[in-house]
Chain A
Amino acid sequence: MSEMLNYDFMQRALIAAFLVGTLCSVLSFFVVLKRLSFLGAGISHTALGGIAIGLVTGIDPVLTGSIFSVLTAMGVGYVSRAGKMSVDTVIGIFYAAGMALGIALISAFEGYYPELFSLLFGNILSVSFRDLLLMGIILLLTLAFIVLFFKELLAICFDEEMAEAGGLPVGPLYMVLLAVMGLTVIVSIQLVGIVLVAALIVIPGAAALRISKNYRGMLALSLFFGLVGSIGGLVLSYFYPVPPGAAIVLILTLLFILTLVLNFFLEKKLQRRGSFEQR
């Protein structure tokens, strides 16, 4: 195990797993409570359009992908609210449009894009110091936003209408949350790739919600699952011939199944106690 830390690329990969694991699991809390899970999948697939713009123009694809993802996330929020459409419908349209743009650009400008495979399936082992810096900055900005407006975001998750009636700036806070989601998706793509990134921002919160009844416990468990999944997956991929992205998602899925089983037994126990007390 200690041998693993002797490699520079593994040290950087572990730091990346920690940063992205923290970022995704904190955000996952709100994604699950606000029922934005499909948005995570939508933004990640839409990002292909932005990444393709970068690849064919020679601009950093992470930069073009970030701008594209943030605009997509905020666009989904704006169109669904202004047009009074369900978020799912709007994501469904943006999702396909972004993918189509990516495919069209890559096909039209034929060339060799070695980064494309990494972006589709993730390549945490190629993370550079610059990437770590970007992840760290986005994590700090996200944490600052969430810490400063935690109670307001929680109130919006509980009842948007009541929050708005109370005078809270629901629209702007929601838009910033979506923009943060867009940025999170982009930095997470390096870890698990476009195809699997949605799992990273959905499973930690969904698993935590299964077994916790208060939001503080849910947030702590989401963080725990996110870190176990991201760091555990990376370690697993070091010892076994499994790509890190796939290993991370498989561990998270296993954790989710465990919480389902645990929830089932907890419910049974509560039912038994209830019927015993009735007697």
Chain B
Amino acid sequence: MGEIVRADNLFVRLSGKNVLKEINFSVREGELMGVIGPNGAGKTTLLRVILGLIPISQGRLEVLGRLYPQLKKVRPMIGYMPQRSSYEKDIPLSVTDVVSTGLLTPATMLHRLTKGNLRVKEALQAVDMERYAKRYFQELSGGEQQRILLARSLVRKPKLLLLDEPNAGLDFPAQQKFTALLQELRERDKLTIILISHDLISIASVADQLIGINCVMHTHGRPGDLLNCPGLDEVYRCQFDLLSGIGRGRRDQK
């Protein structure tokens, strides 16, 4: 299995401030890496760096065999699902229309989308939403919309999938279903996935490795080892009791 993403001593500076520093990890083909950390820790920035949308200021980054700054060339091989808040909810598009937007690349500009319908059908089949093809996107529930957006990020048959808090705002059964779907896709299509989540228990159950960042990378390892290590307290700057799900602030400790 080859390396799909490798970051060595990565630094990212935005508006004169280091938003990410000393980031080191490697994701191999077919692996699922979870990214955890508090709000504003730089998790979304990390995904945008991998996409080549944000420049790195120091370090080395290799994605799908291409070194930074040539990441633009690998974007068509990456499926990306941003946070739920990024898309326009009231736009009058059908499910097929939404999934089709995932096929657009610089190469398809000024051209008709050939084999578009077949690709859309396959992507909807992959997330078990084929019967929703003609429904309107705005009429669907939050969980259904998330599956459609996942189909959108799969429609190009990517080698790497970047998911930014796909479970946010979903109820518990919808979260469970989504996580099960990710597992299925991973096993069936050998997809490499980098997943951001706030749900530590859920992400630990599916990830091969976890990294905990809060500007700096505090922890990196297998989920079982990591959830009990002190590095996690460093990431969130509070002490965790994962069994009760309670995080106590450091001041309480004192």
Contacts and interface: CB of A to CB of B under 8 A. Distances in A.
B87 A162 contact: yes
B16 interface: no
A66 B153 CA distance: 41
Interface string B111-148: 00100000000000000000000001010000000000
B53 A164 contact: yes
Interface in B90-121: 90-94, 97-98, 100-102, 104-106, 108-110, 113
A161 B104 contact: no
B88 interface: yes
A273 interface: no
A175 to B, nearest CB: 16
A158 B138 CA distance: 11
Contact of A166 (B76, B93, B98, B113): B76
Given A158-B91, A159-B88, A214-B136, A168 B104 contact: yes
Interface stretch (B56-64, B78-86, B175-183): B78-86
A118 interface: no
B21 interface: no
B28 interface: no
Contacts of B92: 209, 212-215, 217-218
B93 to A, nearest CB: 6
A33 B104 contact: no
B51 interface: yes
B75 A214 contact: no
A92 interface: no
Nearest to A219: B92
Interface residues of A, number: 28
A169 B53 CA distance: 12
Nearest to A154: B101
B152 interface: yes
B53 A165 contact: yes
A159 B97 contact: no
Interface in B136-178: 136, 138, 152-153
B99 to A, nearest CB: 11
A165 B104 contact: no
Top 9 A-B residue pairs of the complex, sorted by shortest distance between their CB atoms: A159-B87, A155-B101, A165-B80, A167-B75, A161-B86, A161-B82, A213-B136, A167-B105, A165-B51
Interface of A: 33, 35, 148-149, 151-152, 154-155, 157-169, 209, 212-215, 217-218
30 contacts: A33-B88, A35-B88, A151-B100, A151-B101, A154-B97, A154-B101, A155-B101, A155-B104, A157-B91, A158-B87, A158-B91, A159-B82, A159-B101, A160-B86, A162-B82, A162-B86, A164-B53, A165-B48, A165-B75, A166-B76, A166-B80, A166-B105, A168-B104, A168-B105, A168-B106, A169-B106, A214-B93, A214-B94, A215-B93, A217-B92
